[in-house]
A and B are shown apart, each in its own frame.
Chain A
Amino acid sequence: MTGRSYTRRGFLALSSVAVTGLGISACTGASISGGGATAPASNTLRLFTYEDDTTIGSLKAQVKKFDEQNGTTTTVDSLPGSGAAQYPDKLRTELLGGSGPDIWRIWGGQIGAPFAKAKQAADLAPYYQKYGWDSSINTAAVQGMTFDGVKAGVPFTARALGAWYNKELLAKAGVTDVPTTYAELEEMNDKLVAAGITPCGLGGKYGWHIMRLFEYLLEHTAGPELHDRLLLGQDSWDRPEVIEAFTLFKKWQDKKWLPEGALGLDPADVGNWYVQGKVAYDIEGQWTETAAILAAEKDPKDFGVFQLPTDQSPARHSGFVEGYMINARSGNKDKAAALLDFLLTPESQKAMQIGSSTVKGAEPDAETTPLAAEWAEKYGDSPFYTIQDQAFPKKEADQYFSIQSDLLQGSMTPAAAAEKMQEIVAAWAGN
């Protein structure tokens, strides 16, 4: 072998291996053994959340208070911004990397389920018993963080979605009363468009924001029982009620009741438009009072909220729970549970201005968050249907968002959309 041929071949071989290594390791780069061992006990805790700038301060203040009382040091990290689109990915990567947080905030339903199923989240049953969470926390909310009978999370908030509106814009369009029927809602939309105002601000980037409109329309056309069965895959989606809901969904866009090019808009931008006066209303939860209205230093009196009228009985709204999980491999599970118990006291919940707390005695304060308090008073006892991106696993939810997209762009008919949805849900529910 000559030196020259050896160099070339050797370099080629090494380069090929290098490229393979760089490519594949950059793509995944994790093995099952990552993070497999239980961390040693210490007084240091780490809490991972997705609070934004408007709420992270009050959470950190409560955590600091706990640390001072218990001699612990807790780091709070946050990844705000994209809703449930990116946060779970980051969390999962951290857990696989072996440096996962002791506590993490998470949505219930199918978003939290994989962490429970993979046993990354600890079974909190002993702590429910120790701290009496079963009696202090809303039972329905606890169900939202219970997976295959395992209480893998503790809920602290049960969110409810309603229409949050700008009073000035409704008045400008001559709307004096909020709608109480679906027909009145459509009538209100027409008046707003006639006045040059875009009615409903929803963005299609990530899919989940604009989904809130379709799930409402499905509740309107299908009614509570059928809607629930559809979400569980117990009934076929290929049916007239679903086709009607998709038809209405398209109608909202065609009649310009949604912003121009809604599919490409980022929810992080659009979610504030009703406060900025760019749209008349948005489908949001109680957090919007703190995150959008108060953050913009606006007076809550200039805004209002109503339950979207479904014409069904019982009247329901979309809802979901959020809570905390404890890392199954944390060496500080007891301290983590103690921190959670501290955060779940009515005092802490009120201090953090949780507008929809699951904790008894932590109802919203009418002084600081009057609209959230109004919602709790009017609709706090209303039943809710599971928000669709928590009803379906992420993959199926993305396939569903793809159908939404095709339908709104006119490349799929409502009938074809219903048929395709049935294919997706049947494949998932059949597993």
Chain B
Amino acid sequence: MTSLSPRRRGGRWRPWLFALPALTVYVVFLVYPAVSSLWFSFTDWDGLSPAYNVVGLDNYARMLDDPVVLTAGKNNLIWSLVTIVFPVTIGLALALLLNGKVRAKPVLRLIFYAPGVLPLVSIASIWGWLYNPQYGAINSFLSLIGLGDLAQPWLGQDSTALWAVMVPAVWLRTGFPMLLYVAALQSIPAELYEAARVDGASRWRQFWHVTMPSLRSAHYIVLALSLIDSFKVFDMIYAMTYGGPGTATQVMGTWMYANVFQYYQAGYGTAIAVVITLIAIAVGIPYVRSQTRERAA
């Protein structure tokens, strides 16, 4: 049987025809809004009126003089660092624990993962009550055990508000890396540990020289997804502190939202959105490159 040449089967355009429906949706719902948003970042559009003026790079220059942008950027960095390091470390520790001889493993996994599936607004409300300075469980507990001096208005002061929001964020985000690590740990061949034991390796050395190298691909996925998740923080801050007290817990996402949707400064807000996106791309490129390398290999 003679095979048909690509040209006779429909030409080189044939693959594009199959991709056309998906590409159309993609262009209409993603590319077009993105490009139009990029355009608005060069305007003074208020977000409601039909008219606007083109102001060039003014919105971007204005960000340099906006003290809240500095606060928000700093908070984003702190947030990313804390909500990656702690959930990943605790998640790995729990995974190691659950991979051993522990009773009621499925129940424990469910308990540790459960916070991750709760609605964020519910979590924010629950923790808001726990943090209540007068009637909250946290301050009450501190008083009960004789540490009443440590009781604080956790969400009501600049010095503790961001950290107080990060605690539930760590709590709810620990389950996901735990599950990935559990799956990865179960795929490590038992022979490797047997060989290590025969060679006299301690448990500590087994962890560093067998377990950790075997988890390399899991580490990469966990870290990349955690980084992306951390950087787009919005909901927890919005629901728990609304960016306050004052602007103490503003992050780039909430500050962008405030400008676009509350201050009627859509031009400036979209400029912030563009900057967030560029940073996200810069952070995401190493991940994309690694994925393409793996596929190509």
Residues of A within 8 A of B (CB): 4, 7-8, 11-12, 15-25, 27-32, 36, 85, 88-89, 92-93, 95-96, 114-115, 117-120, 198, 204-207, 259-266, 269, 278, 393-395, 398, 401-406, 409, 411
Contact = CB atoms under 8 A, between A and B. Distances in A.
A114 B157 contact: no
A93 B257 CA distance: 12
A402 B288 contact: no
Contact of A117 (B33, B36, B49): B49
Contact of A264 (B34, B156, B274, B296): B156
B2 interface: no
Nearest to B245: A405
Main secondary structure of the interface of B (DSSP, over half): helix
Contacts of A398: 258, 262-263
Nearest to A95: B48
8 contacts: A12-B288, A19-B277, A20-B34, A24-B37, A119-B50, A264-B153, A394-B263, A395-B264
Given A4-B296, A30-B33, A264-B155, A23 B48 contact: no
Contacts of A32: 45, 50, 52
A261 B134 contact: yes
Interface stretch (B186-194, B214-222, B278-286): B278-286
Given A12-B285, A264-B133, A402-B246, A27 B260 contact: yes
A25 B48 contact: no
A265 B242 CA distance: 11
Contacts of B108: none
Main secondary structure of the interface of A (DSSP, over half): helix
B249 to A, nearest CB: 10
B40 A28 contact: yes
A22 B276 CA distance: 12
B261 interface: yes
A260 B289 contact: no
Contacts of B153: 260-264
Given A398-B258, A409-B158, 9 more contacts: A16-B285, A24-B38, A36-B50, A114-B264, A206-B242, A263-B153, A263-B245, A264-B153, A405-B158
Nearest to B160: A264
A20 B281 contact: yes
B273 A27 contact: yes
Given A28-B33, A261-B152, A263-B244, A411 B158 contact: yes
B292 A19 contact: no
B215 to A, nearest CB: 25
B261 A89 contact: yes
Across the A-B interface, the 5 shortest Cβ-Cβ residue pairs: A261-B153, A264-B156, A261-B133, A27-B273, A264-B155
Interface centre among A21, A207, A401 (most CB of B within 10 A): A21
B46 interface: yes
A19 B278 CA distance: 9
B128 to A, nearest CB: 6
Contacts of B258: 398
Contacts of A12: 285, 288-289, 292
A387 B34 CA distance: 39
Interface string B28-54: 011101101110100001111110100
Given A92-B261, A117-B49, A409-B158, A18 B30 contact: yes
Contact of A17 (B31, B247, B263): B31
Contact of A24 (B155, B263, B274, B295): B274
Contact of B37 (A8, A28, A95, A405): A28
A402 B285 contact: no
A212 to B, nearest CB: 17
A265 B277 contact: no
Interface string B146-169: 000000111111100100000000
Nearest to B158: A409
Contact of B292 (A8, A88, A269): A8
Given A263-B156, A411-B158, A25 B245 contact: no
B75 interface: no
